[in-house]
Amino acid sequence: MKVNQYLDSTYLKTAIQASISEEETETNVKDLVNEAIENSYKLAMIRPEFVAMAREMVKNANSETLIGTVIGFHEGTYSTTKKLIEAQKAIENDVDELDFVVNYIAFKEDKINLVKAEVFKGTKLALDNNKVAKWIIEIAALTNDEIISLTQLIRDVVLENFGEENAEKVFVKSSTGFFKTEEGKPNGATFEAMQLIVENAKPLPAKAAGGVRNYDDAVKMVELGVTRIGTSSAKAISEGGNANEGY
């Protein structure tokens, strides 16, 4: 199986997180976008401040590689207003896909109306501008029952407000890759969690982010029903190898 078209090749570390300069961070982003173009990955996933630069690169290369960015990253606790402002700016910079971090903390605190409103407003903004929305639920912070409930909440908001005809444009996504877990527990996609997401998101598609570190795992995720895989090691995976990094 050729997995390239399932891969969202990802670089989301800030300069501080990577202990490098801003210039080196920009170089890393450029390298990632060029690699995505050269290998026909589905998408290059980068931080919002690099969207305009990446769009120009894709345009100059006459490539079909998509540009995606993260919104409310990585905590998800930004106000809905702030997330919408961030998303609008990315749209103005001609992004293709918006990966929102849902306010999973509010969900865990049973602030369901806040979460529903956020999902509605973010999805509406994306769809009104012909963009894809993905909702990151941060599975490492949730129990299996919470994964099921939050996935179903997102599904129901989308179907009730935007119809099944728009379902394929709104994903449920597993993880940011930045959540701090205890005792070495995984902070990215697991097969168990993705099975729950796939089953409860339908007809919405599912994205596995983090935790997919080799070609065999990528294939298994696709066979499970996942249609996108977020990884910082797309090249290694697409060439049948193993990822060196954790995401």
**CATH code for the domain of 126:** 3.20.20.70
In a domain, 174, yes or no: yes
What is the average per-residue pLDDT within 55-62?
A: 98
Report pLDDT digits (tens) over 22-58: 999 999 999 999 999 999 999 999 999 999 999 999 9
Give the total residue count for the chain.
247
- Residue 152, Cβ neighbours under 10 Å: how many? 14
Supply the pLDDT for residue 186: 82
**Is residue 246 included in any domain, yes or no?**
no
Residue 245 lies in a domain: no
85 is a domain residue: yes
- CA nearest to 121, candidates 85, 164, 96, 174: 85
pLDDT at 23: 97
The H helix count followed by the E strand count for the chain is: 10, 8
Q: Is residue 243 part of a domain?
A: no
244 within some domain: no
End-to-end CA distance of the chain: give it in Å, rounded: 22
pLDDT digits (tens, 9 = 90+) for 235-245: 999 998 777 65
Is 173 one of the catalytic residues? yes
Number of domains observed in the structure of the chain: 1
Q: Is residue 107 situated within a structural domain? A: yes
Q: Catalytic: which of 131, 169, 173, 235?
A: 173
Q: Inter-axis angle of helices 144-162 and 191-201, to 10 degrees?
A: 30
Q: How many Cβ atoms sit within 10 Å of the Cβ of residue 119?
A: 25
| Residue 183 confidence class, pLDDT cut points 50, 70, 90 | confident
Query: Which structural domain, as residue segments, surrounds residue 94?
Result: 4-238
Query: 247 in a domain, yes or no?
Result: no
Judge whether 67 and 51 are in contact, CB under 8 Å.
Answer: yes
- The residue from 42, 83, 96, 99 that is catalytic is 99
Share of the chain above pLDDT 90, in %: 92
Out of 131, 207, 217, 235, pick the active-site residue: 207
